Amino acid sequence: MNELGRLEDLPQAYRDELKSLNLVPLWPSLRGVLPPKVPTRQTQPTYWAYKTLRPLLLKAGELTPIEKAERRVLVLANPGHGLEKMQASAAIYLGMQLLLPGEWAPSHRHTPNAVRMIVEGEGAYTTVDGEKCPMSRGDLILTPTGLWHEHGHDGTEPVVWLDVLDLPLVYYMEASYHINGQRQDVVSGRGDRQYIRAGVVPTPVFGRSQKAYPMLRYAWTDAKAALESLAADDPSLEHVQVTYTNPETGGDAENILGFYALMLRPGQSLRLPARSPAQVFHVIEGQVQAQIVNSTFTLVEADTCCAPGYEAVTLKNLKSDTPSFVFVADESPLHRKLGVYENWG
C-alpha cells in the first residue's frame, strides 16, 4: 500500500487557505482516525489503591464542608486521557465520594447515568425519585438519567462509595447538564423488596408501573448469594458471574454501561477474552491480581483498576482458601447499541 501524503507536503499557502475556511485535508490524518486492525486507545491500564486515596478523601472532608462541595469526590482519572479530562475510559467516569455523619448532599438530577457501589460505612442512604435506598458495603444503587437524587447520612462513621457514570460520553455529545431541586418526599415501596426473587415480578393487575427503572438498589447480600449458589450448583463452571439487570425487561440495568459481579473460586486464575469495551474492576471482598497488557496489579478490598478495550485480562484470586468477589463495569451496552461490539476470544 502506498504511504499517505503528509500535511507538511502541502504548500503553506494551500494549508493557510484551508484553515481560513475551516477545512481540513483528511488524507494526512486518515490512519490516525482509521488505524489498521486495532483501534487507537488512550485508555491505559491504571490502578487506584484505596488505602492511599482514603486519607486524602477524609482530608477533603476536613478542608471542604459539604455546603461548598455539594458532592465531595476524588476523581479516578486515567493518565492516558489526561487528568484534566476526569475519565477512566472513553465512556466511563469514576469517582470516590465521601459523606460524613449528619451531612446531606442536596437533590439534583442530570443527564449522565450514574451508579453507586458502596465501599465502606453504614447509616447513609440515597433517595432516588422518592425511593429511599439504604447503603451497605457492596450494594449497587442506580441514579439513572433524569431522576432526582440526593444523599443523606444518619450514621456515625464516614461512608464512601464509588461513582460510575457515563459522563465522558454524554459530555462529548454536548448533552451534559444538571438541575438543582428541593429535598424529596420519600414514597412507599422499594424495588429491591418487590423484585427480591429471581424469575418472578409483581403482577400489575390494575395498571402497569411506568418506571423505566423499577429496581434502583441491588443489595450485595443478594448478589453474593446468587454467585455462591451458581458456583455450588455447577462446580465445573469456570466463569461465575452475574449481570445487574432490569427485572422487568431482562436488559441491562442502565442503557449505556454494563454492571456485573464476578466470583473467583479459591486460588482460581481466570482469563477474560479480549473484547471491544473498556472495563473497570473493583474488589468487594478478597484479594485479586489483575494482569492487563504489560501491567500487573495486586488489588485488595476497595481497590480499583481499569483495562482498555481489545485486550485480554487475567484475574487471579490470591486467596487460596476463600473466594474473592469483584464488581465489574464496562461499555458493552453502548458498543452493542452502536454495532461495534466485538469479542476476539
- The reported pTM is 0.95
**CA gap 80, 43 in Å, rounded:** 5
Where are the chain's structural domains? 46-197+215-338
CB neighbour list of residue 267: distance below 8 Å, 6 or more residues apart: 317, 319, 320
Q: What is the CATH number of domain 46-197+215-338?
A: 2.60.120.10
- pLDDT, residue 208, reads 62
**CA gap 52, 96 in Å, rounded:** 12
Q: Which three cell numbers stand for residue 248?
A: 422487568
Question: pLDDT tens for residues 84-128?
Answer: 999 999 999 999 999 999 999 999 999 999 999 999 999 999 999
Total Cβ atoms within 10 A of residue 322? 14
| N-term to C-term CA, the chain | 29
Residue 258: C-alpha distances to residues 73, 251, 261, 273 (Å): 22, 10, 11, 16
Low-confidence ranges of the chain (pLDDT < 70): 1-2, 207-209
Question: pLDDT tens for residues 49-78?
Answer: 999 999 999 999 999 999 888 899 999 999
Total Cβ atoms within 10 A of residue 181? 13
